[in-house]
Amino acid sequence: MTLVGKGYFIWKIPKCEGGVPAAIAARAVAARLSHVLIKIADGANWMYNYDYDTRTDFIPPVAEALRAAGISVWGWHYVRGDNPSAEARLAVERMRALGLDGYVIDAEGEYRHTEKRAAAKTFMEELRAGLPHTPVALSSYRFPRIHQPLPWTEFLERCDLTMPQVYFEGAHNPEEQLALCVEQYAALRPARPLIPTIPTYTSSTWRPTPGEIVRILRKARELGLTAANAWSWDFASRPAFSDLWDALATFDWAPETPLGDVPERLVEALNKHEPESVASLYAENAAHVTGARTIVGQGAILEWYRKVFTELLPEANFEMTGKSGSENSRHFTWTANGPQGAVRDGNDTLGLRQGRIQYHYSQFSIA
């Protein structure tokens, strides 16, 4: 599962359009957002966007208004790892009560310690036991190589997506920072589809320009990413930040050129058992990602399909069993049957650019 289009993080609902659900939904529609991510919890005990004095939960009416406008709603949760079981219980309780579309783990400084690996493992096991079918994303630092103590593997083993915080504070090179972020996340094990979060706020004397917001969004599209988020609605909706809000709101996430039925063409090429035909569907600098490895470039992808046809699934028949997506993203499920093995659980996501595969995340097991 992935997201397609533009999204905004909400920290405190009362700070967004006065907390009025209809106004929040109207502004989201005007900005052509596809999704909104609302803080639902902090740590092990604190329900967020909840007034304990009046026992009022601010989220349900906002979520209802957004969904009525065709916008998906995700919840996000700042976790610390000091009591991972309690954090997981709170996450499950909030997600079940609110019925949101996806859940985001915000893991930062408190988890930047090697001794927190066991906590991350416990948290993810108990979270997934309670939310087995909910899409889960990890939101954390943009450059994993300089934050190696964070338990990346323990989190990502049970996540579906990553949402790195590409906050290029103190600099004005958003394209370079996003490209480096994508490169470093692709090297993680396991790798997951990536949706960047970009800054629409100020920090000390630093402030991104509207042009930089447009440039990083263009770079995300160029890299074949299916979506991008921004932090945060609370800041960008203020009059002093209207230029940053408008830069994202007016950015057109529509495809640059009409896209063909790429999953069908991919399956058709697979059934020809010709690696060259399959590789020709990919961009020259495309990335192919499985849980075990990431390869980049048509040449490496060609060699991968040679291995598929000669070693993994020789003479297999491939069949697409389901498809969804729009614009520059496709998700499809598939099966394969051959004399040396079969796949029953194929589950792939494609990021497309100009009708070719820019990013391919594939999950399957051979029995």
Domain ranges of the chain: 5-249, 262-363
CA angle (101 as vertex; 99, 104 as ends), nearest 5: 105
Tokens at 313, concatenated: 């699934």
Picking from 29, 91, 49, 32, the residue whose alpha carbon sits closest to that of residue 234 is: 49
Measured CA to CA in angstroms, residue 342 lies from 273, 337, 364, 366 at distances of 15, 4, 10, 5
Q: Looking at residue 31, what is its pLDDT?
A: 95
Phi-psi group of 123: left, alpha or beta (phi > 0 → left; psi -120 to 50 → alpha; rest → beta): alpha
Output the pLDDT for position 256: 44
Instruction: Please tell me the pTM assigned to this model.
Output: 0.76
* 227 touches 195 (CB < 8 A): yes
Question: How, if at all, do strands 33-42 and 46-47 pair?
Answer: antiparallel
Among residues 201, 209, 208, the alpha carbon closest in space to that of 170 is found at 208
Position 329 scores a pLDDT of: 83
CA–CA dist 130, 124 (Å, integer): 10
Amino acid in position 172: H
* Chain center to CA of 211: 24
The pLDDT score that the predictor gives to residue 355 is 79
With CA atoms as reference, report the closest residue to 21 among 91, 88, 73, 81: 73
Under DSSP, is residue 41 helix (H, G, I), strand (E, B) or coil?
Answer: strand
- pLDDT score recorded for residue 83: 98
Q: What angle do CA 298, 304, 308 make, to 5 degrees?
A: 140
**Residues 43 and 78 sit within 8 Å (Cβ to Cβ):** yes
Is residue 340 within 8 A of residue 308, CB to CB? The reply is no
Q: Are 65 and 29 in contact (CB under 8 A)?
A: no
Q: Which CATH superfamily is domain 5-249 in?
A: Glycosidases (3.20.20.80)
Q: In this structure, what token pair is assigned to residue 223?
A: 């890299």
Span 262-363 CATH architecture: Roll (3.10)
Task: Tell which residue, 246, 192, 253, 185, has the closest CA to residue 217.
Answer: 253
Asked whether 109 and 69 are in contact (CB, 8 A), the reply is no
Q: In the chain, which stretches have pLDDT less than 70?
A: 1, 255-260, 326
What is the spatial distance between Cα 306 and Cα 300, in angstroms, rounded to a whole number?
10
Q: What per-residue confidence (pLDDT) applies to 255?
A: 53
Q: One-letter amino acid identity for 218?
A: R
Q: What is the DSSP track for 285-354?
A: EEEEE-SS-EEESHHHHHHHHHHIIIIISTT-EEEEEEEEEETTEEEEEEEEEETTEEEEEEEEEEEEET
